[in-house]
């Protein structure tokens, strides 16, 4: 991926399958990647919040990165997240990921002990400089990581390290920050969103470049990305958006609920056999999955049949 090509469209974040003994299930992961490549995606991402990144060792992250790039084999752009809080570890992992053929990085700013903005800028710049000219996305998720910044912080990152060209904007709501980043950067910084597309109807007209949802019902996000980008938006697109929002509103309250739901959707679709979270986790109550199943059934007509890769 080059700067000219850009990061855009529907780029789902992959979960990590585990075996019964809690080890990585690399064959299941590769099969899931092959399945995802058969969906209407514009790229694949790994080690976001949906990937249970905080439960993975450094060696496991490298194994998964190698499995992802080898399986994709340049057919789609691959992005991986750098989630280390220490700059030295973040730079080291970024270089290793780049050497394994990823097409871009997503950097989660350090957040433990609420570092000052200048320290966060230095951290993100160090990661970006370690892999220049690879494009870099900075993930901004104050609701999950507990630190907040102004739009000017991201502009300062970009001015000092131009390959920081994107921000994944995930405050609640994201719309005002998207507008603030565009204004403060004079359009130089490009925004993407996550949070399962809950605010896609609001953010799509604001000029975002893409969405990074889960992969469980990714075909729905393709249809919504295209449908909510139309003028006017059709009643069919609004109806599909309502169905997706109903499901996402059910699963977003906690990260464990989100990950459990994504893995259960993939199990229902026949993509993975074991929807296990790595322990410790707080698996939702049975009623959670009953409602999830009802929401999922309303989306089934919009999904492609699964063929084992």
Please, what sign has the CA dihedral across residues 115, 120, 123, 127? positive
Give the pLDDT of residue 4. Answer: 42
Give the pLDDT of residue 307. Answer: 61
Instruction: Classify residue 109 by its DSSP letter.
Output: P
Where along the chain do its domains lie? 9-302
Give the pLDDT of residue 309. Answer: 44
CATH 3.20.20.70 fits 9-302, yes or no: yes
Query: 192, 207, 58: which is closest to 137 by C-alpha?
Result: 192
Please, which residues have CB within 8 angstroms of residue 304's CB and are 6 or more apart in sequence? 38, 39, 219
Give the pLDDT of residue 112. Answer: 80
Give the pLDDT of residue 148. Answer: 87
Q: What are the start-end ranges of the H helices in the chain?
A: 26-37, 58-72, 87-99, 117-131, 142-145, 151-160, 175-184, 200-203, 218-227, 235-251, 255-268, 286-297
Distances 299 to 49, 128, 239, 293, 305 between C-alpha atoms, Å:
23, 39, 11, 10, 12
pLDDT of the chain, 309 residues: tens digit per residue: 444 458 999 999 999 999 999 999 999 999 999 999 999 999 999 998 899 999 999 999 999 999 999 999 999 999 999 999 999 999 999 999 999 999 999 999 988 877 889 999 999 999 999 999 999 999 999 877 777 899 999 999 999 999 999 999 999 899 999 999 999 999 999 999 999 999 999 999 999 999 999 999 999 999 999 999 999 999 999 999 999 999 999 999 899 999 999 999 999 999 999 999 999 999 899 999 999 999 999 999 999 997 644
- Residue 261 has, within 13 A of its CA and on its CB side, a CA count of 27
How many whole angstroms separate alpha carbon 108 and alpha carbon 111? 9
* pTM for this prediction: 0.95
If one counts every other C-beta atom within 10 angstroms of the C-beta of residue 178, the result is 24
Strand order across the beta sheet in which 104-107 lies: 9-10, 210-211, 190-193, 164-169, 136-140, 104-107, 78-82, 44-46
Q: Per this entry, what is the length of the chain?
A: 309
């Amino acid at each position: 991926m080059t700067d000219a090509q850009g990061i855009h469209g529907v780029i789902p974040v992959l979960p990590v399958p585990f075996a019964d003994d809690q080890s990585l299930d690399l064959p299941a992961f590769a099969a899931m990647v092959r399945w995802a490549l058969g969906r209407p995606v514009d790229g694949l991402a790994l080690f976001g919040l949906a990937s249970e990144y905080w439960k993975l060792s450094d060696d496991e992250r490298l194994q998964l990165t190698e499995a992802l790039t080898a399986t994709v084999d340049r057919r789609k752009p691959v992005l991986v997240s750098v989630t280390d809080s220490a700059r030295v570890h973040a730079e080291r992992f970024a270089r290793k990921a780049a050497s394994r053929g990823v097409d871009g990085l997503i950097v989660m700013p350090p957040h433990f002990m609420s570092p000052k903005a200048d320290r966060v800028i230095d951290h993100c710049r160090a990661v970006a400089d370690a892999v220049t000219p690879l494009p870099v996305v900075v993930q901004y998720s104050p609701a999950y990581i507990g630190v907040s910044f102004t739009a000017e912080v991201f502009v300062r990152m970009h001015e000092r390290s131009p390959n920081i060209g994107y921000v994944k904007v995930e405050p609640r709501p994201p719309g005002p920050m998207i507008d603030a980043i565009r204004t403060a950067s004079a359009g130089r910084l490009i925004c993407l969103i996550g949070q399962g597309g809950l605010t896609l109807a609001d953010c799509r007209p604001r000029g975002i470049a893409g969405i990074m949802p889960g992969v469980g019902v990714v075909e729905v996000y393709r249809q919504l990305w295209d449908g909510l980008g139309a003028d006017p938006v059709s009643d069919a697109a609004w109806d599909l958006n309502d169905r997706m929002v109903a499901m996402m509103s059910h699963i977003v309250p906690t990260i464990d609920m989100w990950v459990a739901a994504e893995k259960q959707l993939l199990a229902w679709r026949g993509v993975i056999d074991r929807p296990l979270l790595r322990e410790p986790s707080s698996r939702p109550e049975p009623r959670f999955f009953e409602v999830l199943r009802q929401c999922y059934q309303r989306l089934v007509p919009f999904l492609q049949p699964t063929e084992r890769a």
